[in-house]
Structure 1
Amino acid sequence: MRVGKRKIIIIGDRVLIRPDDSAEKSPAGLYLPPTVREKEDVWGGVVVEVGPGLPLSDPNSVEEEPWKTASDTVRYIPPQAETGDYALFLKKASVEINVEENKYLIVPQAAILVIIRDEIAT
């Protein structure tokens, strides 16, 4: 994903999420102080980038020293999250980054509790 002149590459089974800003307001439209928001254990946001997943070893390769042979083909177990999904995740497992004045959270797949996906009828 490109942000300005920078490219963000997500590694492994991690997901890049843009946090939901609507949670910073109360239902009446009042802005909540950051201390109230930070006390919440579960946050939500939109998935903007997904890593390739967990690398999978080749089951046909039964060698005593597998590091001696190089394999060009790497297989992954893909994450369930997709770009555009809305995810609810555990805040304490996330890492906050700021890129070009945009706030993002890097969240491991295991910390995502639920994914809300808009299904498009085809």
Structure 2
Amino acid sequence: MSLKPLGDRVLIKPDAAEQKTASGLYIASNAQEKPQRGEIIAVGAGKLNDKGERVPMDVKVGDKVIYGKFGGNEIKVDGEDYLLMRADDIYAVVE
């Protein structure tokens, strides 16, 4: 894939939606919640501050992150689903 996010945007591969509850019941596909976790696939160069200098990104490729439920734009590349969002929409890095 040759998709490079611009500015402070990141490309995220969302985790698969949970198909079962903790007790083992299957969840209907229309009732499954959108995942809020994923892995960063690509990052932009960072945004510019008031002086025109690049502010480094807080995340890097390979980081597992938690993001807002309705953040980002869903895109499809080579048949795969991804989210393209601003780094500000990422809440945490899972360590």
Give the structure-1-normalised TM-score. Answer: 0.66
Of 18, 22, 45, the match for 2:13: 18
- Give the Cα separation in 1 of the matches to 2:5 and 2:68: 18
RMSD: 2.1
Structure with max Cα Rg: 1
CA contact (8 A) 1:24 1:32 kept: no
Give the structure-2-normalised TM-score. Answer: 0.82
Alignment CA distance shift 1:75-1:49 (3 Å)? same
**Runs of at least 4 residues off by over 6 Å:** none
Q: More helix per residue: 1 or 2? A: 1
Of 72, 75, 87, the match for 2:53: 75
Is residue 74 of structure 2 the alignment partner of residue 96 of structure 1? yes
Structure 1 residues without counterparts, runs of 5 or longer: 59-73, 118-122
Structure 2 residues without counterparts, runs of 5 or longer: none
- Give the Cα separation in 1 of the matches to 2:12 and 2:81: 9
